[in-house]
Amino acid sequence: MPPIFDPLRFGMELGYTLIVVFLCIIIYFKTKEIYTLTKHKGIYYFRNTFLFFGAAYLFRLIFHAIRISNRWLDIYIPRGAMGPIMLLFTGFLSTMAILCLIYSTIWKKFSSKEFFISSLILAIIIAIAAALSPPIFLITQTCLLIIAIVLSCLLRTKTKFPRIFLLYFLLFVFWIISLILVVPSRAINFEIKLILEIISIAIFMFLYYKVSKWTR
Amino acid sequence: MFQIQRYFKQMRKRDRLEVIHDILKIIRDKHNSIKPTPLLRYSNLSSQRFSEYYKELQTKGLVKEIIDKKSRKYITLTDKGFKFLEKYKLILGFIDDFGL
């Protein structure tokens, strides 16, 4: 059964998504100059992470809007088809975001061609799985997050473990939480949802702050 | 012991960005005009590696060639090259801070 349309909840969801997408776009454009100057592969994949992530959040919102639109709009929308299609895009984009972030930290170990082909195949498989079954989507994203942590720890070239990895970890944890809040339509308490979204925005803002510190 | 450690630290292989920075810095320090042969010598690279880097710098638009009236070739920095030097510390900080 689709969730009930609540203007306040939807407004909050819309605001949350727009802020996150806006921050992702700003991070992407803020890092343009240092990428143009250096053509550094790590910076390239770091930028792409936020591009994919922003788009994933946007498709997540569209998916949510389609689910609740039957209580809200009188026009015909083929929800049966549109929902899985939006999940397909969300799955693809979020998987690419996670993979790009992994690769940005371990790019010296693999050729970018190998990475691009394998990540594209993996993202397509996960996207199809997401479209067929939302719970599988959540499981694959969680597995990917665990693999990301293990890989980044094992294959890093520098011995020092940057504190930023904790931030990356939180970023993806909150992405998975945001999927749990939308995909299986959990009737979660309004205040808890608000707190989770505020924390998620705070993580993005902190990342933006760190980026702007080096790109002024 | 510390001297040996320092020696090895100094002898470590420079990474790509460091080499690019060093080449650009040499050009700037030579009043933004240097011939290819002295640049090769000061950059402390083999001629093969130097030509690879030189091509890369040209492709990225960080340096350009100028030929004077006597048909002598000089290498100078472009605006982008100067910007790279100006932002180098920030770029390194960014790469280090984000674990890239």
Whether B9 shows a pLDDT value over 60: the answer reads no
> Would you tell me how many other CB atoms lie within 10 Å of the CB of residue A75?
5
Q: Cα–Cα distance between B58 and A164 in angstroms, integer?
A: 34
Look at B17 and A104 and tell me if their CB atoms are within 8 Å. no
The verdict on B41 touching A (C-beta cutoff 8 Å) is: no
Residues 6+ apart with CB under 8 A from A66: A77, A79, A82, A83, A86
pLDDT score of A47 more than 60:
yes
Burial of A148 (0-12, 13-18, 19+ CB in 10 A): buried
Which residues on chain A place their C-beta less than 8 Å from a C-beta of chain B? 31, 33-34, 36-40, 42-43, 46, 104-105, 107, 152, 156, 158, 162, 164-165, 210-211, 214-216
Least confident of A25-34, A69-78, B13-22, B91-100: A69-78
pLDDT of residue A136: 85
Which CA distances in Å does A196 have to A19, A129, B33? Answer: 14, 26, 57
How far apart are alpha carbons B10 and B16 in whole angstroms?
16
Q: Which of A37, A42, A215 sits opposite B83 (nearest CB)?
A: A37
The β-bridge partners of B77 are B63
pTM here is 0.82
Q: Average per-residue pLDDT in chain A?
A: 84
Here the tokens at position A46 are 């770091």
- For residue A81, the one-letter residue type is A
Residues of A in contact with B62 (CB under 8 A): 37
C-beta atoms of B84 and A38 within 8 A: yes
Q: Provide, rounded to the nearest whole percent, the portion of chain A with pLDDT above 70.
A: 87
ipTM score of complex: 0.80
Report the first-to-last Cα separation within chain A, whole angstroms. Answer: 49
Tell me the pLDDT tens digit for each residue of A173-191. 888 888 887 765 556 778 8
Chain A: residue whose CA lies nearest to B87:
A34
Taking the alpha carbons of A180, A182, A187, A193 in that order, is the dihedral positive or negative?
A: positive
* pLDDT score of A5 more than 70: no
Percentages helix, strand, coil for chain A (3-state, rounded to 5) are 80, 0, 20
CA separation for the pair A47, A52 (Å, rounded): 9
| Contacts with A77 (C-beta within 8 Å, 6 or more apart), sequence order | A66, A69, A70
DSSP 8-state secondary structure symbol assigned to residue A75 = S
Q: What is the mean pLDDT of residues B66-91?
A: 90
Chain B CB contacts of A43 under 8 Å are 94-95, 100
Q: Do A37 and B100 touch (CB under 8 A)?
A: no
Pairwise CB contact (< 8 Å): B91 & A158: no
| CA A198 distance to own-chain centroid | 16
Place of tokens 């803020």: A30
The beta-strand segments (E) located in chain B are 63-67, 73-77
Q: Which residues of B28-53 are buried (b: 16+ CB within 10 A; e: fewer)?
A: bebeeebeeeebbebbebeeeebeeb
Amino acid at A91: G
Nearest partner of A24 among A89, A93, A92, judged by Cα: A93
Residue A206 and residue B15: Cα distance in Å, rounded? 29
- Which of A31, A37, A157, A159 should one mutate to test binding to chain B, selecting the residue with the greatest count of B CBs within 10 A? A37
Tell me the mean pLDDT in the region B3-11: 51
